[in-house]
Amino acid sequence: MKKFFFVLLLLVVSISACNETTSKKSDVKANQKTAPEESSEKDEVKDSITNTTSKIVENLVPDTDNGGLTLPDNFNAIVVVDSIGPSRHLAVRDNGDIYIKLRTDKGRNGNVAIRDTNGDGKGDIIKRFGDYPNDGTFATEMRIHNGYLYFSSELVVYRQKLTPNKLIPDGKPEVIVIDRFPIRWHNAKSLAFDNDGGLYVTFSAPTNACEDWESSEGESTANVKGENPCSQLRILAGIWRFDQNKLRQTQQQGQRYATGLRSIVALSWNQEDNSLYALNHGRDYLHNHAPQYFSEWDNAVLPAEEFMKIQEGDDFGWPYTYYDHFKNKRMLAPEYGGDGKKVATSYTDPLMGMPAHWAPNDLLFYKGEQFPERYKNGAFVAFHGSTNRAPYPQAGYIVAFIPFKNGKPTGKWEVFADGFAGADIIPLMKDAQFRPMGLAEGPDGSLYISESTQGKIWRILFNGDKAKFGKADLAKMEKRKSRSYIRTPHKTKDILK
C-alpha cells in the first residue's frame, strides 16, 4: 500500500498539466435525502422573501431541543433542514438565502440553495444546481463575495453572479482557477478574499510527512525517512494568491503566498487587521513512524492543530517540523532527525495550538450584533472530529470559540456548540452522528452550522440580555470539557478495550 502512495505522489509532482475535468451533461438524480431540482424562475420570484432582518427574527421560534445541540445559556437553535445530503461549506446571502456545497463526486448539480419563505427559519424551497462536473468528495468551498457566489470542486474554483430576488444564479459558472494536477488526498480548495482583489486558494499535501517509502523496510512504516528536500513543497502544502476577477488562471499564474502548511480547510480573511488566518490539520502517525520516541498516547495527543495568522512569505515548517502545544514549541519531525526533544528553528510559529487531530474545517470571525459583545471579532471554529486516535477515543466534533482581546487571541478556547456526536465515547469516526463542517454568519448575526454526514443545518440565535451575559452563562459549556471526546485522554484509563 505504501508503495502505491509513493508512486501516486511521484505522478502528482511530475505531471505539469492535464486537461480540465469534464463529464457528461446529464444531471444526476437527487436522492431522497437531497434537494429537488431547480424550479422555474416564476416560482423563484413568487417565493422571494424580504431582505428586512427584523421581520425574520420576529418570526423565529427555536426548536425545543435546539436540534440536539448544547449551547451557552440564552442561546438557541433552529434546524433549517434535516438532511440535504453530505455537505461541506455554506454561505448565507444578505436576504437570508443559504447556499451549500455538497460532498459528492457523481454527476453535476453539486450545490444546494435554500430559501425560507415565511420567516420561521426553516427551509421551504430546497433546490440543487451547479452546471459543472463533481470531480471529488473533497470539494468544499461556498462563499459569497462582491455579489458573486464562489464555490470549488477538487480541481476548479468557480463563481456565478447573484441576481436580486433570484435564488439560483443565472448562466453557467465562470472558471476562476484550475488545478491541472491529478486528484489527490486532502484536495480541498478553500478560499479567502482580501480587500485588494486577491483570492487565496489552498493547495494541500497528500501525505503526512513527505515520506520516502524506499527508505523503510518491507511493509513496515517504522523509522521511515522523509524526502529531503520535500518535492511536494514546489506545488503543494501552501496557499496561493490569485486575481479575484481573472478567468481560467492556473496555479503557475498565481503567487505562492505561504508554505509549510500540510492541509488547510479552515481559511478566512480577518477584516479587523486585514490579514489572512487559518487552522492547519496537523500530521498523524508519530508513533507509527518512530515508536522508539513516541508512544500511542503521544500519537493521540500530538501534534497540535495550529491556529495561525499567515503573512506573505511565511514558512510553517511542514514536513520538517510539527508543533507541540504542551511545550508551546515547534519540534523537529522524526522523519528528519527529531526525537520528541529537538526544537526546530527558523520557522513561523502559530498563534496557539489546538488539540490534536480534531480536524478544523472552517473558521469564521464574528462581525454581527446579535450575540453578546464578547463574541464580536472572535473566531468560531468547526472541528470535524478525529479519525485515527486509537486505542483512545476519537475527539473533536464540536464548534469552538476563540476569544480575541486587543486584536489577538487570548490563548484560551471555549466549547460553543456540542451534541453533534450523539455519544460520550466515540470509538470510531463512523460512530459520531454528525460532524460539524461549515460556518456562516447571517444578515441578522445568526450563526449557521453545516455537517458532513447527512447535511443537517442549524441556525444559532441569542435570545437573552446581551449586557448581562457572563461567565455564569458559560459554566455548563466549560464542564463539557471533561467529556471523553474533548478532554486530554488519560494514558491508561482511557484506552478502549
Give a yes or no: residue 490 inside a domain: no
Q: Please report whether residue 494 resides in a domain.
A: no
Instruction: Report DSSP state, residue 434.
Output: -
In whole angstroms, how far apart are CA 263 and each of 47, 194, 201, 345, 463? 41, 21, 12, 21, 37
CA distance 34 to 100: 11
- The count of domains in the chain is 1
Beta bridge partners of 439: 449
Amino acid sitting at position 418: D
Give me the residue label for grid cell 487531530: 357
- Is residue 285 within 8 A of residue 340, CB to CB? The reply is no
Strand partners, 267: 278
Whether the predicted model's global pTM rises above the 0.85 cut: yes
- Angstrom distance (rounded) from CA 99 to CA 248: 23
Q: Of 314, 187, 213, which Cα lies nearest the Cα of 260?
A: 314
Residue 343, pLDDT score: 98
Distance CA 330, CA 299 (A): 16
pLDDT digits (tens, 9 = 90+) for 336-373: 999 999 999 999 999 999 999 999 999 999 999 999 99
> Residues 359, 386: contact at Cβ < 8 Å?
yes
Q: What whole-number distance in Å separates Cα of residue 195 and Cα of residue 19? A: 32
- Is 388 part of a structural domain of the chain? yes
Of 377, 224, 211, the C-alpha closest to 287 is: 224
Residue 457: which of 477, 437, 429 has the closest Cα?
437
pLDDT recorded at residue 54: 41
Q: Which three cell numbers stand for residue 362?
A: 472552517
284 occurs within a structural domain: yes
Residue 180 covered by a domain: yes
Torsion of the alpha carbons at 124, 125, 128 and 129, rounded to the nearest 10: -140
Q: For 116-220, list the strands marked E by DSSP.
A: 125-129, 142-145, 148-152, 156-161, 174-178, 191-193, 198-203, 211-212
CA angle 305, 461, 352 (to 5 degrees): 20
Alpha-carbon dihedral sign for residues 298, 299, 300, 301: positive
Closest CA to 264 of 323, 187, 180: 187
**Per-residue pLDDT at 44:** 42
Q: Is residue 242 part of a domain?
A: yes
CATH number, domain of 297, equals 2.120.10.30
255 beta partners? 241
Q: How far apart are CA 309 and CA 348, in angstroms?
A: 10
What is the rounded CA–CA span in Å between residue 204 and residue 184?
9
Over the Cα atoms of the chain, what is R_g?
Answer: 22
Residue 234 inside a domain? The answer is: yes
Answer whether residue 495 is part of any domain.
no
Residue 479, Ramachandran bin (φ over 0: left; ψ between -120 and 50: alpha; else beta):
alpha
From first CA to last CA, the distance across the chain in angstroms is: 27
Which residues, in sequence order, are CB contacts of 342 under 8 Å at separation 6+?
331, 332
Yes or no: say if 383 and 359 are a contact pair by the CB < 8 Å rule. yes
pLDDT at 157: 98
Burial class (CB in 10 A: 0-12, 13-18, 19+), 408: exposed
Range of the domain at 256: 2-482
pLDDT, one tens digit for every residue, the chain (497 residues): 444 444 444 444 444 333 333 333 333 233 333 444 443 334 444 444 334 334 444 589 999 999 999 999 999 999 999 999 999 999 999 999 999 999 999 999 999 999 999 999 999 999 999 999 998 888 899 999 999 999 999 999 999 999 999 999 999 999 999 998 877 778 899 999 999 999 999 999 999 999 999 998 888 999 999 999 999 999 999 999 999 999 999 999 999 999 999 999 999 999 999 999 999 999 999 999 999 999 999 999 999 999 999 999 999 999 999 999 999 999 999 999 999 999 999 999 999 999 999 999 999 999 999 999 999 999 999 999 999 999 999 999 999 999 999 999 999 999 999 999 999 999 999 999 999 999 999 999 999 999 999 999 999 999 999 999 999 999 999 999 999 999 999 999 999 98
How confident is the model at residue 151, as a pLDDT?
98
